[in-house]
Amino acid sequence: MLVPLDWDKPSEGNEELCSKFSYGLYKTDGHEMPYRLFIPKMSEPVPLVLYLHGADAVGHDNESQLRMHDIGTVLVRDGWQKRHPCIVLAPQYNADEYWNEPWIYEGIYKLIKKYTDTGAADKERIYVYGYSAGGVGTYHMLNTYPEIFASAVPICGVTGRKTLAIIEEKPVWMVHAADDRIVKASYKKSEYRELSNFGSHDIYEELKDRAKELKYTEYAKGEMKKLYGVNPHCSWVALSDEKNIGIWEWLFSKRMVL
């Protein structure tokens, strides 16, 4: 993926955070999915967070999904881990693949189940977040496995109408920039019944009056440039900012009723 010149870059400390993740490779039926895994020292089950990268981190190097941005390592920072120790799972898909391919999402499910079955991960506190294509993947995982995810944070993502029923029932906090031209916050052109793509703004407008726990943070036109000096698609940068830690606190406050 060719990225604009105003794309965000990782901070100086990101490389050290990446080094805290181990390397893994999930294999099935001739397919291979690299993944990185962070496991804290623990004496009891902890939350497990699934992180899904965007199209700019596609590959098979098992590096780019964490090294491209701070967003993949934000939850392994010392300050967060002291307050909320958690497992972070960061898989990677290759060119011509996608998060909605059955062998990929089924493989991710099996990896999550591995840690819930052993008691390392708390079954009531499984979370998912991702940006761009990973935001789309977040909706897909939530729709496919609603019984395991307690809450979700899709960042600059888009989905279809069939996912709205799950979003209506689940705790979801969406983040998007109004002037995102790569994945639009709104695809509405006429009536919702004619809409095939729902950006974050469309989802919020459709569900805000009846969704149980739906939240939406939208950055106004020019705000991502003003605040962070980056392309408006890079709204994930805001979630790497300590000022917005409340979104992560909200994510971790949710529990599944099993």
pLDDT digits (tens, 9 = 90+) for 134-172: 999 999 999 999 999 999 999 999 999 999 999 999 999
CA distance 32 to 51: 18
Burial class (CB in 10 A: 0-12, 13-18, 19+), 27: exposed
pLDDT score for 212: 84
CB count, 10 Å around CB of 164? 19
pLDDT of residue 158: 97
- State the pLDDT at residue 190: 53
pLDDT for the residue 188: 82
Domains of the chain in start order, with CATH, are 14-252 (3.40.50.1820)
> What percentage of the chain has pLDDT greater than the value 70?
97
Note the pTM of the prediction, 2 decimals: 0.96
pLDDT of residue 17: 98
Give residue-wise pLDDT tens across range 87-119: 999 999 999 999 999 999 999 999 999 999 999
Is the pLDDT assigned to residue 196 strictly greater than 90?
no
Residue with tokens 């002291």: 82
CA dihedral 190, 196, 202, 205 (to 10 degrees): 70
